[in-house]
Amino acid sequence: MKYQAAVLREVGGPLGIETVEVGQLRPHDVLVKVHAAGLCHTDLETIQGSLVYPLPLITGHEGAGVVEAVGSSVSQVAPGDHVVLSWNPSCGHCYYCDRDQPILCEPLKMHQPKGELIDGGRRLKLEGGEDLYHFMMTNCHGEYTVVPEAGAIPVPREMPFAEASLIGCGVMTGVGAALNVARMKVGESAVVIGCGGVGFNAVQGARLARAHPIIAVDINPMKLEQARLFGATHVIDARDEGAAAEIRAITGGRGADVAIEAGGNEACFRLAFEAVRPGGQVVLLGKVNVDREVSFRWGTLMGEKRMIRSSYGNTRPREDFPMLARLFLEGELNLSALVSDRIPLSEINRGFERLEAGEVIRSVVEFD
Please say whether the beta carbons of 31 and 67 come within 8 A.
yes
User: Which secondary-structure segment (H or E) carries 362?
Assistant: strand 362-366
Q: Percent of the chain beyond pLDDT 70?
A: 100
Domains 2-154+335-366 and 174-309 belong to one CATH topology: no
Residue ranges with strand state E in 188-292: 190-193, 214-218, 234-237, 256-261, 276-284
**Which residues have a Cβ under 8 Å from the Cβ of 164 and sit 6 or more positions away?**
36, 64, 82, 84, 155, 325
Residue 253 has what DSSP assignment? T
Q: What pLDDT, on a 0 to 100 scale, did the predictor assign at position 128?
A: 87
Reduced DSSP (H G I as helix, E B as strand, rest coil) percent helix, strand, coil of the chain, to 5? 30, 25, 40
Please state, in angstroms and rounded to a whole number, the distance separating the CA atoms of residues 271 and 261. Answer: 9
269-319 per-position pLDDT tens digit: 999 999 999 999 999 999 888 888 999 999 999 999 999 999 999 999 999
173-210 per-position pLDDT tens digit: 999 999 999 999 999 999 999 999 999 999 999 999 99
Q: What pLDDT, on a 0 to 100 scale, did the predictor assign at position 291?
A: 84
Cα 8 to Cα 112, 116, 184, 327: the distances in Å are 17, 16, 40, 35
Domain ranges for the chain: 2-154+335-366, 174-309
The CATH superfamily assigned to 2-154+335-366 is Medium-chain alcohol dehydrogenases, catalytic domain (3.90.180.10)
pTM above 0.75, yes or no: yes
86-119 per-position pLDDT tens digit: 999 999 999 999 999 999 999 999 999 999 999 9
Please determine, looking at this structure, whether the domain spanning 174-309 carries the CATH number 3.40.50.1980.
no
